[in-house]
């Protein structure tokens, strides 16, 4: 049977359209170009010009004598450094934006979450008593920036990890000193003729990953909340069906919120709406793709048209006037594709220039002016729109569950805490927790299929799922971010919790950098008590079933170093070395309580996750998971009673089972 390329009907429809029109996509290119069987599993070393060396036979070494252990470990840690640099550079830019705001040089921005600023001040050691908010912001911005260039000591945000975790890192010499320092050191160590011991290389890789998760990414998340507001739940829509047939469609794509937030403001400006109307459109429809979408989704309710593999297909609808991109995950194929349509592709970051695209350099000092310029460009394209093909699929969703909101949700301002969540796990109403994150990859069996399968299996098994990045967008498209999904798909215990709190069984926590929200959530669960004292004690797992980017590798590694069993989909990039494969699984688990595994089949990912969660429950002395104990309470009891009556099944409205 032919492989289904995507389980998303909108994507499938557009892929058929692409085939009819003879257009290439990442899907077709992946079919045409099989991955290099040597490099794919880590056998290739191209760190110097004596190679590339291909280590194909047992015992074979590179020209310099590098063994397969050194080669695979070096390749993996270079991926970590690539991912950590991307996330962290994103964080650096936000620190610079906060400084510009504090110094009065970015008049279109303001500090939207003063509480979060004070929290940052606390962990960065910035005094707050008797000081003006902008003074504090200036010091927070400077202190955040100093974390990138710090040479010795410890990153300040490491204190946010549970104490036993910090001690493990200190004992292993793994506490990051400065964000840039760890990235540079990995690049140095992996240069030809340097570190030639896989254990030492892998340790440096984890230190670098920690500099990302507990450093650059955490700062990026916190600074974004300070500048644009800490997310709280709001509703929105997803998938290509939200493109409008009679409005100007403007798409934001990439990762940084600084420009997309301003574009959202500009799109609501009556002057811009009038301008769109003057071009024959009924208005302006702003939507997003990838993680910029997640940023404006969870703060402004801007809809998302899809995840990573939808970017080309969106242009092929012929309905997009302009796609504006900032950084990361932007396919080079977009530029020639846009030229076939009336779509303008606009780059904005000094770090991302794309041949054929229009570059409008973003400058936060005149952010709104630039945003309006881009919106006008989009409107100018509307009269050039030709035939369109918009797949009519869209889904309702609820997004925006920050760590802070979860606290509030479980006790209000008065007594917000994670106690109810921990209690639910301790009693067995919840079996555990899972983070399902990461990209799409045309190499996986079907686009979105692995994300969807593991997420549905988890919630069916009473595991609360949190998601970020393209995984979260996948869940959005299949209705898993809607509270109703709990009624239909969640196990009995999880369903009761969702009914009581009015939340979906899958919580959208944000963009790629917001995996740091999962870290702070896990830290609070560990500190709350009842589930051990460290993150590694919690019955939980992390998965990136369809990963493709170096950022995902870095994320996976900082989860492992934080004590989480982390499963990556697809083939292992270190498969060529049994020693390294075993090291990142068994030895890392012994040292850190978290292990790193690459598993191709989603069924196996779920089986291993459930076994791990149950083993953690047992180690904590918690009761075995037993779904029959729950399901008789909750606000949906009346509904289920009425359904049973309608079907003529035995039913009691006053069942006390499980209470
Ligand atoms: S956008 S890194 S494809 S999650 Fe953050 Fe999606 Fe992966 Fe890019």
> Which domains, ranges and CATH numbers included, belong to the chain?
68-228 (1.20.1270.30), 240-384 (3.40.50.2030), 404-644 (3.40.50.2030)
Mean pLDDT of 236-260: 96
Confidence category of residue 647, pLDDT binned at 50, 70, 90: confident
Mean pLDDT of 468-473: 97
Q: Is the CB of 119 under 6 A from ligand 1?
A: no
Residue of 438, 450, 451, 556 to test ligand 1 pocket, by largest number of atoms within 8 Å of CB: 438
> Under a CB-based contact definition with an 8 Å cutoff, are residues 314 and 273 in contact?
no
Interatomic CA distance for residues 263 and 100, integer angstroms: 19
Interatomic CA distance for residues 517 and 558, integer angstroms: 13
- Going by the DSSP 8-state scheme, the letter that residue 349 receives in this structure is -
pLDDT of residue 651: 62
Cα(548) to centroid of ligand 1, in Å? 8
Interatomic CA distance for residues 541 and 536, integer angstroms: 10
Kindly give the number of the ligand 1 atom that is closest to the alpha carbon of 307.
6
Please say if the pLDDT value at position 595 is more than 50: yes
pLDDT of residue 656: 37
Q: Which of 49, 46, 101 has its CA nearest to residue 71?
A: 46
Q: Is the CB of 469 under 6 A from ligand 1?
A: yes
Q: Reduced to 3 states, what is the DSSP secondary structure of residue 142?
A: helix
Mean pLDDT of 259-270: 96
Cα(469) to centroid of ligand 1, in Å? 6
User: pLDDT above 90 covers what percent of the chain?
Assistant: 91
Mean pLDDT of 524-528: 95
Please say if the pLDDT value at position 634 is more than 50: yes
For residue 330, the surrounding DSSP H or E stretch is none
pLDDT of residue 654: 46
Please say if the pLDDT value at position 658 is more than 90: no
Residue of 329, 516, 518 to test ligand 1 pocket, by largest number of atoms within 8 Å of CB: 329
pLDDT of residue 639: 64
Residues 277-286 pLDDT 10s? 999 999 999 9
Confidence category of residue 1, pLDDT binned at 50, 70, 90: very low
Nearest CA to ligand 1 atom 7: 439
Kindly give the number of the ligand 1 atom that is closest to the alpha carbon of 512.
5
Q: Which single residue is written with the structure tokens 């936060």?
A: 364
Residues 375-432 pLDDT 10s? 999 999 999 999 999 999 999 999 999 999 998 988 877 777 888 999 999 999 999 9
Please say if the pLDDT value at position 623 is more than 90: yes
Please say if the pLDDT value at position 636 is more than 60: no
pLDDT of residue 637: 61
Residue of 254, 289, 290 to test ligand 1 pocket, by largest number of atoms within 8 Å of CB: 290
Interatomic CA distance for residues 270 and 375, integer angstroms: 12
Please say if the pLDDT value at position 659 is more than 50: no
Q: Is the CB of 292 under 6 A from ligand 1?
A: no
Please say if the pLDDT value at position 2 is more than 70: no
Output the furthest CA–CA distance in the chain (Å, rounded). Answer: 77
pLDDT of residue 17: 96
Q: Reduced to 3 states, what is the DSSP secondary structure of residue 45?
A: strand
Cα(550) to centroid of ligand 1, in Å? 10
Interatomic CA distance for residues 618 and 630, integer angstroms: 20
Q: Is the CB of 329 under 6 A from ligand 1?
A: yes
Q: Is the CB of 253 under 6 A from ligand 1?
A: no
Interatomic CA distance for residues 149 and 174, integer angstroms: 18
Q: Reduced to 3 states, what is the DSSP secondary structure of residue 15?
A: helix
Confidence category of residue 657, pLDDT binned at 50, 70, 90: very low
Nearest CA to ligand 1 atom 8: 329
Cα(607) to centroid of ligand 1, in Å? 26
Q: Is the CB of 156 under 6 A from ligand 1?
A: no
The 506-510 sheet, strands edge to edge: 506-510, 463-468, 432-436, 540-544, 565-569, 596-599
For residue 501, the surrounding DSSP H or E stretch is helix 492-501
Computed over every residue of the chain, the mean pLDDT equals 94
pLDDT of residue 628: 87
Cα(544) to centroid of ligand 1, in Å? 11
Residue of 288, 296, 305, 308 to test ligand 1 pocket, by largest number of atoms within 8 Å of CB: 308
Give the 3-state secondary structure of 577-596: CHHHHHHHHHHHHHHHCCCE
Kindly give the number of the ligand 1 atom that is closest to the alpha carbon of 308.
3
Q: Is the CB of 272 under 6 A from ligand 1?
A: no
Q: Is the CB of 327 under 6 A from ligand 1?
A: no
Residue of 470, 545, 548 to test ligand 1 pocket, by largest number of atoms within 8 Å of CB: 470
Kindly give the number of the ligand 1 atom that is closest to the alpha carbon of 548.
7
DSSP alpha helix (H) spans, 212-310: 217-228, 257-268, 270-278, 290-300
pTM: 0.95
Please say if the pLDDT value at position 653 is more than 80: no
pLDDT of residue 168: 98
Mean pLDDT of 55-79: 97
Q: Is the CB of 512 under 6 A from ligand 1?
A: yes
Confidence category of residue 450, pLDDT binned at 50, 70, 90: very high
Kindly give the number of the ligand 1 atom that is closest to the alpha carbon of 437.
4
Confidence category of residue 635, pLDDT binned at 50, 70, 90: low
Instruction: Tell me the CB-side half-sphere exposure of residue 290, using CA atoms within 13 A.
Output: 29
Residues 532-553 pLDDT 10s? 999 999 999 999 999 999 999 9
Q: Is the CB of 294 under 6 A from ligand 1?
A: no
Interatomic CA distance for residues 503 and 494, integer angstroms: 10
Please say if the pLDDT value at position 255 is more than 90: yes
Mean pLDDT of 259-286: 97
């Amino acid at each position: 049977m032919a492989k289904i390329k995507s389980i998303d009907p909108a994507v499938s429809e557009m892929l058929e359209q692409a085939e009819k029109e003879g257009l290439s996509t990442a899907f077709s290119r992946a079919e045409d170009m099989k991955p290099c069987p040597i490099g794919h599993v880590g056998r290739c070393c191209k760190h110097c010009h004596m190679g590339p060396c291909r280590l194909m036979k047992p015992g074979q070494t590179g020209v310099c004598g590098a063994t397969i252990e050194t080669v695979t470990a070096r390749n993996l840690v270079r991926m970590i450094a690539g991912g950590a640099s991307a996330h962290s550079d994103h964080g650096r830019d936000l620190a610079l934006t906060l400084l510009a705001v504090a110094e009065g040089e970015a008049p279109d921005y303001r500090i939207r979450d003063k509480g979060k600023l004070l929290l940052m001040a606390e962990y960065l050691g910035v005094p707050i008593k008797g000081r003006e908010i902008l003074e504090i912001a200036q010091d927070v911005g400077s202190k955040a920036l100093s974390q990138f260039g710090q040479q010795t000591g410890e990153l300040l945000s490491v204190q946010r990890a549970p104490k036993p975790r910090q001690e493990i890192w200190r004992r292993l010499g793994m506490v990051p000193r400065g964000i840039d320092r760890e990235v540079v050191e990995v690049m140095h160590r992996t240069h030809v003729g340097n570190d030639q011991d896989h254990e030492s290389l892998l340790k440096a890789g984890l230190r670098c990953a920690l500099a990302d998760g507990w450093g650059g990414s955490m700062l990026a998340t916190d600074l974004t909340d300070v500048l644009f507001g800490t997310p709280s739940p709001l509703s929105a829509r997803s998938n290509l069906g939200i493109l409008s047939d009679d409005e100007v469609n403007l798409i934001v794509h990439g990762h940084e919120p600084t420009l997309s937030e301003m574009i959202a403001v500009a799109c609501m400006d009556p002057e811009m709406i009038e301008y769109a109307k003057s071009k024959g459109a009924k208005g302006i429809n702003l939507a997003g793709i990838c993680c910029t979408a997640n940023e404006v989704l969870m703060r402004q309710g801007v809809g998302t048209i899809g995840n990573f593999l939808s970017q080309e297909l969106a242009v092929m609808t012929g309905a997009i006037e302009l796609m504006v991109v900032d950084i990361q995950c932007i396919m080079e194929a977009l530029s020639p594709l846009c030229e076939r349509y009336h779509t303008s592709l606009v780059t904005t970051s000094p770090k991302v220039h794309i041949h054929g695209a229009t570059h409008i350099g973003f400058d936060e000092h005149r952010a709104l002016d630039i945003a309006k310029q881009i919106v006008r460009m989009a409107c100018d394209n509307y009269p050039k729109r030709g035939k369109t093909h918009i797949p009519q699929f869209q889904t309702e969703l609820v997004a925006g569950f920050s760590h802070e909101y979860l606290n509030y949700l479980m006790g209000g301002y008065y007594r917000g805490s994670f106690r109810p969540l921990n209690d639910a796990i301790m009693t067995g109403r919840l079996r555990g927790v899972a983070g399902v994150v990461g990209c799409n990859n045309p190499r996986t069996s079907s686009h979105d299929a692995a994300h969807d399968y593991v997420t549905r299996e988890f919630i069916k098994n009473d595991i609360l799922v949190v998601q970020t990045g393209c995984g979260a967008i996948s869940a959005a498209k299949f209705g898993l971010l809607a509270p109703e999904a709990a009624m239909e798909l969640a196990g009995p215990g999880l369903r009761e919790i969702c009914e009581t709190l009015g939340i979906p069984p899958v919580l959208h926590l944000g963009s790629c950098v917001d995996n740091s929200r999962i870290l702070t959530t896990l830290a609070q669960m560990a500190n709350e008590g009842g589930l051990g004292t460290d993150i590694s004690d919690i019955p939980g797992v992390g998965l990136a079933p369809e990963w493709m980017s170096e950022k995902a590798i870095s994320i996976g590694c900082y989860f492992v170093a934080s004590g989480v069993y982390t499963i990556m989909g697809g083939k292992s990039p270190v498969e060529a070395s049994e020693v390294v494969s075993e090291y990142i699984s068994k030895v890392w688990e012994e040292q850190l309580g978290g292990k790193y595994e690459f598993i191709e089949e989603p069924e196996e990912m779920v089986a291993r996750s459930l076994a791990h969660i149950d083993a953690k429950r047992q180690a904590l002395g918690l009761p075995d998971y037993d779904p029959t104990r729950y399901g008789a309470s909750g606000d949906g009891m009346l509904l289920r009673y009425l359904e049973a009556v309608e079907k003529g099944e035995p039913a009691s409205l006053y069942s006390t089972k499980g209470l």
